[in-house]
Structure 1
Amino acid sequence: MIPGTICITKYPNCYTISFPYHPMLVTCVKRIPSVAKDIKKAYLSDEKAWKIEPQDESYVKIMADWAIHYGYCNRKQWRESTRNLNDYSIPEMPKLEIPHGLLLEPYDYQKEGIAYALKYKRCIFGDQPGLGKTLQAIGTVTIAKSYPCLVICPAALKINWQREFKKFAGKQALILDDRNKGSWQRYIETKCCDIFITNYESLKKYFVLRVKDDARFTMKSIEFDPRISLFRSVIIDESHKCKSTKTQQSKFVEGICKGKEYILELTGTPVVNDNTDLIQQLKIMGRLEDFGGYKFFVDRYCDGLRKSSNLRELNWRLWNTCFFRREKSKVLTQLPDKSRQYIEVDISTRREYEKAENDLIQYLRDYKNASDEKITKAMRGEVMVRMGILKSISARGKIKVFSEFIHDVIDGGEKLIVFAYLKDVVHELKKLFPDAVLVTGDENPTQKQISVDRFQNDPSCKLIILNYKSGGTGLTLTASSRVAFIEFPWTFSDCEQAEDRAHRNGQKNNVNCYYYLGKDTIDRYMYDVIQTKKSIANGVTGTDDVVKENMVDMAMNLFSGRL
């Protein structure tokens, strides 16, 4: 198949050939006896393309002559497009033959993903979650020097993308906000920054001047900010959020991406419901015509009650045009047993957090100035309580963005293990996900085992929520290789014990651990302390006195500049 030109598929009784419209081809098509009587049917006006089904292979050779004559391809390209007409086997991934220039060495399969994207430029990174699509996308635009680059992602991942560009490419990225809404292009003009990050919900604010109040909402209804022409590449994270052809959000993304050199869509679940989910994602990349256009795609690949037909053929055509996917099981030998990802997010409880933080700082001043040893010892417990309050406020402020992450995982068909520390957080998550099973201090041993067994054995049970005390040790939860933490325990050993509910005998995949950190909160500091002192934490006996002593030290260090 030659993207954008001739599409050929061989079936038991005929060939299907779709090719772009050309007025001179009317006469040529009439020469084919098997389609001459149905010449009007052969032309699809909506797609400006012809679709013919000659019965004999000799007519395929005639088509070759026409395609070459009218400049759709040369003889070599045609041979490559027809070489595997009888074979739907997936081609090998290309090898990266040039230096990647990244600060960290990618795995071999990631290099192949980068090579694929450099070859096809507008494509879907469909790797199973946890295989590092972010690194591959950053590697692609870095090697291609396809800047300025716009990253469109869920709101919770903006800070993470900023940090990943710095970590992998050493480049500073700018998160768009109200302060730079009208002036972000100046960063390009002054060469200060050429990577910009925004979330789906903010596209209208930053890149749309006006939406006409038309009865039928189309692309013509949208007047875009001309500054979108400055971008050479667009990375669309969780691109399945654009699967609808009708929403404003999807059409905003489509308009922003129009004419861009590199359009990289990242999603572990490109098809959430049925094959129609691919239509808008292909349109955004300017790839729908490579599949015969809208009508042909729907007729060919979205037929039947399940709106999914000719799956093997579609998979083959996707791989040869604009899509790749690897599963963990296929690249397991290249992966570490366990990997961690730290996602820094804004909290929705900022005002409440700042008040509690100021109260704690004032208390620490009193503690610092106390001269009586008995008083200071008594005050240590209160410091622990107030630190816990900060953790609680931060955790509650992360529930909204954390729930979006949960939806992305379980809606994509995967299971997820979630750890929380506070009962209030567990109960709030349970309200949002009523089908989840629980392992907390409120369940008796029989109920806990029922929850574990259901998660392990029932394919429809996608989510288990645990607290550290009741579910952090002893349990086997190998039905999932993804563990997410909305809040921290007090020590690294508690983190590791929780991670190892999935990372134990019987686990067939590498385990991905996701830690959600509240931006500018105690979370970040606690994480740094826990990770840098994990060897010490592993040796701690766990007595209350030791932990309280550490918490006081942590609090004093955290706020040392404000005491």
Structure 2
Amino acid sequence: MATSGQRNKQHSSSSSRSTTSRRAHGDEAGVIPVLARVAREIEAAAQRGPVKSTNRAKFQVAAVLLREERARIKADKDITEAARANEQKRLDGLAGILAKTAARDTSLITLLADDAPISTAARELKRDLLLSAGVELSADELIVVTEPKPVDTQADKQVVPESVRQFARYNPFLAPDFSNVPDKPVENRSNRLGNWELIEPLFRAFEYGAGGGSAVMDLPEAKSLQTPGTLDLMRHQAQLIESARDGHRTFLLADEPGLGKTAQALLAAHVSNSYPLLVVVPNVVKMNWAREVERWTPKRAATVVHGDGDDIDAFADVVIVNYEVLDRHVNWLAKRGFRGMVVDEAHFIKNKESQRSKNVLSLSKSIRALHPRALFMALTGTPLINQIDDFRMIWQFLGWIDDKKPLPDLMDKLEDTGLTPADFGFFAEARQSVIDLGIVRRKKVDVAADIPARRIADIPVELDNELGRSIREAEQALVSRLVDRYRRVLANRQTPTNDVDHELIRLVAHAELEESKSQKTGENVFTMVRRIGQAKAVPAADYTVQLARNVGKVVFFAKHIDVMDQAEAYFAKSGLKTISIRGDQTSQQRQKQIDAFQEDPDVAVAVCSLTAAGVGLNLQAASNVVLAELSWTDAEQTQAIDRVHRIGQELPVTAWRIIAAQTIDTKIAELIGSKAGLAARALDGSDAEVAAEGSVQVEALVALLTEALS
């Protein structure tokens, strides 16, 4: 990155060049003929195959000079309008050549951006082209300064939690483990591909070599659906687990959301004994990962890194850390001795210049150096966001390529094809070679027979901001009030007892609830739940954005208007088009919004009021629902999900409930789940009492007070 002084110098140089003398305008003089020659060279190179580094630099410099020359001609007051129009026409022709070249090799498109980084070699090339065009350059422009490497501030951020120090004292030396590395026979390979540029052809293979086939490696049949926990696997999940059991160690798991990528990763680690396991995730899902460890592998302990990691357990089997704090912990994580690493939402590392990407790659290299047979898994429903080059960093994390060439496993597969990029059929064979290294992509429609027609998945989120802290303080105040009320009543009894009186707990909960209903001001269970909804608005919207980019249309439900407003603002900021279903709309307005969601492919999210849109609507263009706020009844929740899960829905439906961890929200979610199905059982002749809204509210208060007393 250029220093401020260098930027000022570059700015002054650019300004001076606008007034430097140039050759008279003419067909064979000035910058335009030089640009024309360079553009033709790049065009010819692109016709021969992927554009290599030298011509990529030429392409970028040509684009920069074209922009500068267009601006200079526009501002030049010394030429006639006719001459100006003629020069602009010539530039338009050159711009057309560059555009066609970029269309032929799409990796060049990123070089057209105004903020694309320009290397020292490219700046030198730009200087030389200007000199060859007869442009008089200033002394500053003649000297190209090599930009200094950025100062590494990582060391200043590093922390070492006390638990990690204890672990280091307990186990001060971790030797590399080569016990499971198979001995490869030495072969006299032809090394046909040694002098070929292969990275770009491999990327192109995924653009042109598909042949209609899906990107799924051959997976063995599932031998068992049982797991160490209480849950069973689905068939498509068990197939990947079986592959890990058979010895496969790298996976790009790109299943659609709702197909259980988390469970597959955890159980792949279990069957391959890849412990300790490092899991790098977005902040919004790190609590959910800890819960999933407990559900799927209950004998394995998980620890979550918050902030500086003061409360972590460095002896845990699974260490979960989010991207945002990873930079503080890279040093000790690199020395922990992990035998496996999972990167969730792996498209987060697509930018090779970002610090998060550098951290992830650094850790993967450290782990691979200690344990060559370590498990590496990249999980993402959207491995490609904008361009095929988004694969690059994921493949590097998995150890398939480095920044210049395929690494041995992939190179061996490419050699085995007997083809080169110049041969017919190379793209299809090269694509399959990469897939065989571990790409697994299944869609809901592909495995519909495996999964339930409708299911609810909880996503716990941590409220670690100021609002989250105030909510926890309010909950503590509510619990204190309940405990005081309970103890006062107990103290006035003629025969006090030290045993917990559950009947009295229920009476206290009822009294608190009745007061809350009549209370106009102050903190109570209703205001607290509303504040929790407000605090969850952005995390829920963020999760919805990820879903929409992964699988298409999503229905977002909230109870309160302010939560809907926050979510809609977040969606707009993220570039997603939305519609809204609210209680103040006329029937015509509402139907217009529904039709747009059902029929307009650009509409990504329907933002709906849980009460206004919970009944009578058909939103089956989506198969994913996000419940940002919890209802007080299972019936209201079910009605919302049924806007999507309707006759004609061809895909299994998943409802994602966003739960605020370590708050009353978790208790409400558990209670709603426990009450689910009571209505149906009652209609079927069961004696079970059907849960009403008030009963869930009372039970939530009962749970808080019981926990405090015990």
The question of a shared fold, defined as TM-score above 0.5 by the shorter chain, is answered with yes
Q: Which amino acid aligns with 2:546?
A: D
Pick from 456, 473, 495: which aligns with 2:598? 456
Q: 1:339 aligns with which of 449, 455, 461?
A: 455
Instruction: State the SS of the aligned residue for 2:612.
Output: helix
Q: Deviations over 1:334-355 (max 9, x none)?
A: 1111121111111132232134
1:411 aligns with 2:549: yes
- CA contact under 8 A between 2:250 and 2:377: conserved in structure 1? yes
* Cα distance in 2 for residues equivalent to 1:158 and 1:144: 23
2:221 is the alignment partner of 1:95: yes
Separation of aligned partners in 2, 1:468 and 1:160: 24
3-state secondary structure, aligned to 2:335 = helix
Q: CA deviation at 1:556?
A: 3.5
CA distance in 1, matches of 2:381, 2:312: 34
**Residue 102 of structure 1, CA deviation:** 3.1
Matching residue within 228, 240, 248 for 1:113: 240
CA contact (8 A) 1:138 1:169 kept: yes
Task: Identify which range, 443-452 or 269-278, moves more after superposition.
Answer: 443-452
Shift of 1:468: 1.5
* Residues 671 and 696 in structure 2, CA contact (< 8 A), matched pair in contact too: no
1:195 is matched with which residue?
A: 318
DSSP 3-state at the match of 1:442: coil
Which of 462, 480, 488 aligns to 2:622? It is 480
Show the counterpart of 1:323: 439
Tell me the secondary structure at the aligned position of residue 287 of structure 1: coil
| CA–CA separation in structure 1 for the residues paired with 2:187 and 2:591 | 67
In structure 1, the residue matched to 2:391 is: 278
Asked if the contact 1:126/1:324 (under 8 Å) is kept, the reply is yes
Is the partner of 2:524 in helix, strand or coil?
helix
Which of 621, 632, 641 lines up with 1:499 in the alignment? Answer: 641
The answer to whether 1:234 aligns with 2:341 is yes
Query: What amino acid sits opposite 1:254 in the alignment?
Result: L
SS in 2 for 1:512: strand
Would you say 1:555 and 2:701 are equivalent positions? Answer: yes
Matched, 1:176 2:305: yes
Distance 2:322 2:526 in 1: 31
Deviations 1:245-277 (A, max 9, x none): 111100100010111521100111111111010
1:55 maps to none
Contact 1:88 1:316 in 2 (8 A): no
Residues 153-194 of structure 1 deviation map (CA, whole Å, 9 limit, x = unaligned): 111211111111111111221112357459854x1xxxxx22
Aligned in 2, Cα 1:375/1:520: closer, same or farther, shift over 3 Å? closer
Q: Which residue of 2 aligns with 1:52?
A: none
1:360 match: 478
Deviation at 1:436, TM superposition (A): 1.6
The Cα of 1:98 is off from its aligned counterpart by 8.0
**Structure 1 position 378, deviation (Å):** 5.6
Aligned residue identity for 1:124: L
Q: Structure 1 residues 350, 409: closer, same or farther in 2, change over 3 A?
A: same
Does the residue aligned with 2:619 lie in a helix, a strand or coil?
Answer: coil
**Match of residue 664 from structure 2:** 522
Q: Which residue of 2 aligns with 1:145?
A: 273
Normalising by structure 2, we get a TM-score of: 0.58
Taking a change above 3 Å as real, the CA distance of residues 237 and 396 of structure 1, as seen in their structure-2 partners, is same
2:279 paired with 1:163 = no
Q: Which amino acid aligns with 1:176?
A: V
Q: Which residue identity lines up with residue 248 of structure 2 in the other structure?
A: Y
For the residue of structure 1 that corresponds to 2:555, the secondary structure is strand
Aligned positions of 1:112-131 closer than 5 A: 112-118=239-245, 119-131=247-259
Give 1:303's aligned residue. Answer: none
In percent, how many aligned pairs have the same letter? 24
| Cα deviation, residue 511, structure 1 | 0.6
1:533 aligned residue: 675
Post-superposition CA distance 1:429-485 (Å, at most 9, x none): 111123321111132221111111111111110001111111111111111111111
Residues 377 and 400 (structure 1), Cα distance of their counterparts in 2 relative to 1, 3 Å cut: closer
With over 3 angstroms needed to count, the CA separation of the structure-2 counterparts of 1:510 and 1:359, relative to structure 1, is: same
Matched positions, count: 452
- Which residue is 1:305 aligned to? none
- Unaligned residue ranges in structure 2 (runs of 5+): 1-49, 51-185, 193-208, 415-425, 493-506, 684-690
**Structure 1 pair 474–196 and aligned structure 2 pair: CA distance change class (3 A):** same
Separation (CA, whole Å) in 2 of partners of 1:552 and 1:178: 35
Output the TM-score relative to the length of structure 1.
0.72
* Amino acid across the alignment from 1:396: Q
> Does the Cα contact within 8 Å between 1:228 and 1:256 map onto a contact in 2?
no
Alignment partner of 1:350 out of 468, 472, 476: 468
Report how far residue 120 of structure 1 moved: 3.3
Letter of the 2:353 counterpart = K
What are the residue-to-residue correspondences of 1:464-475 with 2, within 5 Å? 464-475=606-617
Contact 1:492 1:538 in 2 (8 A): no
Q: Secondary structure at the match of 2:301?
A: coil
CA-atom RMSD in angstroms: 3.8
- Conserved 8 A contact 1:439-1:466: yes
Give, in whole Å, the separation in 2 of the partners of 1:151 and 1:335: 26
- The change in CA–CA distance for 1:120 and 1:264 in structure 2 (over 3 A counts) is same
Superposed, which structure 2 residues align to 1:307-318 within 5 Å? 315-318=431-434
Aligned match of 1:386: 524
Equivalent position SS for 1:288: coil
User: In the TM superposition, what is the alpha-carbon distance from 1:503 to its structure 2 partner?
Assistant: 0.8
Quote the Cα distance in structure 1 between the aligned partners of 2:475 and 2:344.
34
**1:424 is aligned to 2:562:** yes
Q: In the alignment, is the contact (CA less than 8 A) between 1:148 and 1:194 conserved in 2?
A: yes
* Alignment deviations for residues 72-98 of structure 1 (CA, whole Å, 9 cap, x no partner): 89xxxxxxxxxxx99986664223458
**Aligned counterpart, 2:578:** 436
Question: Given the alignment, which residue of 236, 245, 265 partners 2:352?
Answer: 245
Structure number with the higher strand fraction is 1
DSSP 3-state at the match of 1:353: helix
State the Cα distance separating 1:293 from its structure 2 match. Answer: 4.0
SS at match of 1:462: strand
**Using a 3 Å threshold, how does the CA distance of structure 1 residues 377 and 433 change in structure 2: closer, same or farther?**
closer
Taking structure 1 as reference, are residues 478 and 311 closer, same or farther at Cα in structure 2, changes over 3 Å only? farther
Measure the CA separation in 1 of the matches of 2:544 and 2:390: 20
Instruction: Give, as a single letter, the amino acid of the residue that structure 2 aligns with 1:331.
Output: V
> Is the 1:117–1:123 contact (alpha carbons within 8 Å) kept by the matching residues of 2?
no
Task: Flag the 1:546–1:139 CA change in 2: closer, same or farther, 3 A.
Answer: closer
| Cα separation, 1, equivalents of 2:592 and 2:293 | 43
After TM superposition, give the deviation of residue 236 of structure 1 in Å: 0.7
Q: Contact 1:238 / 1:265 at 8 angstroms: preserved in 2?
A: yes
| 2:329 equivalent among 206, 221, 230 | 206
Q: Please show how residues 56-75 of structure 1 align to structure 2 within 5 Å.
A: 68-70=187-189
Amino acid at match of 1:471: A
Q: Is the 8 A contact 2:633 2:696 kept in 1?
A: no
Aligned to 2:255, the other structure's residue is in SS state coil
Q: Secondary structure at the match of 1:392?
A: helix
Q: For 1:106 and 1:413, how far apart are their aligned partners in 2?
A: 22
Q: Could you tell me how far apart the structure 2 residues matched to 1:549 and 1:248 are?
A: 50
Deviations 1:375-420 (A, max 9, x none): 9896262479822211111112222322221221223351111111
CA-CA distance at 1:199 after TM superposition: 0.5
Quick check: 1:383–1:552 contact (8 Å CA) kept in 2? no
Corresponding residue of 2:687: none
8 A contact 1:436–1:463 mirrored in 2: yes
Aligned counterpart in structure 2 of residue 287 of structure 1, from 377, 382, 400: 400
CA distance in 2, matches of 1:98, 1:537: 35
Q: 1:263 is matched with which residue: 367, 376, 384?
A: 376
Structure 1: which 5+ runs fail to align? 1-15, 17-66, 74-84, 188-192, 209-224, 301-309
